[in-house]
Chains A and B, each alone.
Chain A
Amino acid sequence: MEIKFTEENLKKLDKAKSHYPKSDAALMPALWLAQEQFGWLSIDVMKYVGSILNIPYEHVLGAAEFYTMYYKKPVGKNHLQVCTNISCMLCGAYDILDYISDKLDIKTGETTQDGKFMLSEAECLGSCGTAPMLQLNNYYEENLTKEKIDNLIEKLSKS
């Protein structure tokens, strides 16, 4: 597969560049676009992003490594990230994590064999008032219960 931004993403990148006085500052938006398009940031993708912004690959790698939300490895189609920080922990987050882990038969950090689900433990996601909660790809699922999880996983398994 040739690594190249779509026309639309190139336009979005140009727009992002116009927000900063220096184009290398558009690295973070560029990495977001790349992750959206390619799913994760492989070495080749990072090299491509570097070439397009005129940034050495090592700098791109340095930034990508620093931020946890940039994926340096492929992830499952549905990434379930359960917050286990204090407020969620007090509201039973670890039970939720174990429940999902048993249900999907994967440990934290693993992906199901069909590539449909990945399970992670997350730090506070700023949703402490609706604990326990998890992040599913870009969006939040709040006030979790076992029933809610059953329904969610059933829905996602079918899609």
Chain B
Amino acid sequence: MSDFQPIILKNIPDYDKIEVYLKHGGYKALKKALKMKPEEVIEEVKKSGLRGRGGACFPTGLKWSFMPQKTDKPKYLCCNGDESEPASFKDREIFEKNPHQFIEGTLIACWAMGANTAYIYIRGEYYKWIELLQKAINDSYAKGFIGKNIAGSKFSADIYIHRGAGAYICGEETALLNSIEGKRGIPRFKPPFPANYGLWGCPTTINNIETLANIPAIIESGGEWFSKIGEPKHPGSLLYGLSGHVNKPGIYELPSGTLLTELIYKYGGGVKDNKPIKMIIPGGSSMPPLRGDEIEGLKMDNENLKSVNSYIGTAGIVVMNEDTDVVKVIKRITKFYYHESCGQCTPCREGCGWLLKILDRIDKGLGRKEDIELLADVASNIEGNTICAFGEAVAWPVKWAVKKFLPEFEQKVKENISLPIANKVHALRVTYQE
């Protein structure tokens, strides 16, 4: 698409500075929104078809409309910048290159939902980006866009950064709420949903940073304009992240539904050393992986990815060439989840450990043939049986890697020459104990 103009990562020098942002029409959308009724703003966002960029692709306008209008409790907005899903590094790009558009979107969201406080949750490791964003927030306060009587209106809202401290699970929306409250970041049961019972029991909405950064453009140019960009069912641009075996890794903002091959070969400069692709993760480590032979003609958006049994997630794409050891990769991903499980649910807590153990022995050539089936079995016992979607995040990569790359697993089990000895020792020990 040659006529595509980036919505968020515009190629304007110093766009992160408030003066430059203002010179290019910054904070105009906020002023426009403040003249609209909150319901009208929500209606416009609904019309845009914008879907959350945090991974679940939930329609943003609809989510906003769940917030109760009449309530005597304070309402909150939480901006999710935890960004800890391996292979995701897009929100950081927004903090660095276009913080004001995100701040403006946050303020518009606050107005639409009647929230007077927004917390921006940022992973603790992003120290530099917290500093950058805090500077942008201070500048915006100084110009009267945040705080009391925003841009001369009757509306007031504050924005605070809450720094995380190293816990992937805090990206899950209800764990994030607990973390902001100063507690251990463990997910809560749903229902009650945050829109009714969120921060300190008050109505709360959680949105991803990229989701919010899209809002000013939607208000300025209209929901209909936005809905026509990219794939109709998942419209707008996406901040695709390319990493792994590509020549030019990085974040590329392109319309949803951009061809995966185009992303890799045109924008990513092709595969390192020009090798064929063995495996691809399309949207962060928890999304079901794809085989190299599945990518021809594949469009990158949530609906089209379903045809290969995967999802867009955070649009963090990992390219792996033919030399990649699939079992090792899946083992590394599982090790991550094992480390990050909050431990509340038995299937997740125990299952992560089992998966890792089995993968480890397969990788080391000590696996049994039945282990492959056992992997799938453990994974399916986690999926759907947990408090939060972390369960799926652990199960999917294992389950689909086994399905799609079965020969890789079988190979490792067959390679095993020491198997009879290992089994014998095991058997002896069991007999002995008896």
Contact = CB atoms under 8 A, between A and B. Distances in A.
Contacts of B243: 87, 90, 128-129, 131
Looking at B128, B243, B316, the one whose CB has the most chain A CB atoms below 10 A away is B243
B285 interface: yes
B201 to A, nearest CB: 11
B336 A123 contact: yes
Looking at B160, B251, B324, B340, the one whose CB has the most chain A CB atoms below 10 A away is B160
Contacts of B249: 87, 128-131
Contact count band on B: 35 or more
Interface of B: 74, 83-89, 91-92, 119, 123-128, 158, 160, 162-168, 179-186, 200, 241-245, 249-251, 281, 285, 316, 318, 320, 324, 329, 332-333, 336, 339-340
A58 B83 CA distance: 29
Given A69-B125, A128-B243, A90 B184 contact: no
B92 A86 contact: no
Contacts of B126: 126
Nearest to A53: B182
Contacts of B85: 124
Interface string A11-50: 0000000011110111111011000000000000000000
B187 to A, nearest CB: 13
Contacts of B285: 85-86, 124
Interface residues of A, number: 41
Contacts of B181: 22, 24-25
B165 A28 contact: yes
Contacts of B339: 123
A70 B430 CA distance: 43
A38 B333 CA distance: 35
A86 B333 contact: yes
Contacts of B185: 66-67
B165 A69 contact: yes
Interface of A: 19-22, 24-29, 31-32, 55, 59, 62-63, 66-70, 84-87, 89-91, 123-131, 135, 138-140
B89 A129 contact: yes
Contact of B165 (A31, A89, A125): A31
B340 A123 contact: yes
Nearest to A81: B125
B165 A86 contact: no
